[in-house]
Structure 1
């Protein structure tokens, strides 16, 4: 492949690299994803191995590492990372003797599209239509490489399908209730409250109404202060306040110069 931007799965200069190059964007993306994972009707698959409820924060950083490998690696490296994800899922399916529903895979890609956009617009600026299309294109390409079918073809079509998925695939189950208890156990009461407040800011209405939490966020007025802290280079202190101290190095590693 020639020495051009096309040697990367996600070209240099892409808005996706900008979004996923900031630790706070990633943390907001996965705070929201943590809620939607819990509410998804396929959450029993996350409980099958026991790894998610046993170590939700460790699983978060594991998932982040795969996402960033895809976004920042060269093309071959990104494809290798996607293939490893497929292999892991295939192993779980073989162990359980069943297949993960195709719609569950699409749900994961859909939430990454949605929350990438929402996090950046909440913490940075509004995205243009072309930038939103670019975000969609990256995760659409991941879906194709994973062999997923019935994917929407563009961002506009995705917005309609996303609403349908939220209405059809979310449920406040016993698994969801237990997973939120695990989040609280591993984060502690104060950080857990912060998690819930971020989720209230980030989740779409169909997901938010199922959350086992209050429906009003007091975090909105703080966002402006947080944006200012970025300019003053004080945001690192706030990031470390959100997650336990043992994840300090991982948090710093999320920021890409």
Structure 2
């Protein structure tokens, strides 16, 4: 069977661990709130009404791409594109191509940033591998102007950050929704986690300090994983309704190994 992502790929390691996935979406949730096209996510009402549900819906699509056959992964990508096309038809105009690229770029950036925070620095070859997986996703979605390599992507990513991010009423409202659905304590943890993985410009726009309360906690968390005690920390931080879905990411990885 041909897989979209090789079974020994670093991408499977990144997306096969629940804590890494949580940090990917912690970072992306911050950057999403600043994106100039975030109004598209408000059009259906699904994001503000259930930001956690939206997160896990996206995780589910990512899992289908990373852990399934090439045919099934392509099918998942095509469905994703069809869903967005349906939203475009309802609204009467197209989502800008740069907005699609921004989302793809977030997945690339935070896959690397989250893994390096919790595990180790990736080699140049591994970063290229991460980029190539999502590049192929973008090609399948018929996105334009995608750089062919990781190194060529880096300045393009920086340009997108400079051009496509701003604080707005959507930014404020989305963070209020995060707090509403997570609760005050978990929301505080989200903010501190975001500080650890977002780029400098995102910190500046959200008025984040450089210091995160989680900085001294990360080494302790790594030790807790070695001692198989990380479940205790997750049980304190994750809403009960979503614990099974998060833990399911770890189970998925074990089944594929």
TM-score norm. by structure 1 comes to 0.96
- Give distance in 2, aligned partners of 1:214 and 1:186: 24
Decide which moves more: 22-31 or 245-254.
Answer: 245-254
- Give distance in 2, aligned partners of 1:242 and 1:160: 35
Number of the residue aligned with 2:100 = 105
- Is the aligned partner of 1:247 residue 2:242? yes
Q: Is the 8 A contact 1:177 1:212 kept in 2?
A: no
Q: Is the 8 A contact 1:8 1:74 kept in 2?
A: yes
The Cα of 1:96 is off from its aligned counterpart by: 0.1
Matches within 5 A, 1:135-150: 135-150=130-145
The equivalent position to 1:218 in structure 2, one of 213, 216, 219, is 213
Q: Is the 8 A contact 1:240 1:251 kept in 2?
A: no
Give SS of 1:148's match. coil
Number of the residue aligned with 1:204 = 199
Decide which moves more: 113-122 or 212-221.
Answer: 212-221
Q: Is the 8 A contact 1:239 1:251 kept in 2?
A: no
Following TM superposition, the consecutive aligned residue runs of length 4 or more in structure 1 with deviations greater than 2 angstroms are 212-216
- Is the aligned partner of 1:58 residue 2:24? no
Give SS of 1:172's match. coil
Matches within 5 A, 1:73-152: 73-152=68-147
- Alignment: residue pair count: 252
Q: Is the 8 A contact 1:44 1:175 kept in 2?
A: yes
**After superposition, what is the alpha-carbon deviation per residue over 1:55-95, rounded to whole angstroms, capped at 9, x for unaligned?**
00000000000011001110110000000000000000000
Structure 2: gaps (5+ residues) = none
TM-score norm. by structure 2 comes to 0.96
- Give distance in 1, aligned partners of 2:90 and 2:229: 46
Number of the residue aligned with 1:67 = 62
Give SS of 1:210's match. helix
- Is the aligned partner of 1:235 residue 2:234? no
The Cα of 1:207 is off from its aligned counterpart by: 1.0
The Cα of 1:213 is off from its aligned counterpart by: 4.5
Q: C-alpha root-mean-square deviation of aligned residues, in Å?
A: 0.9
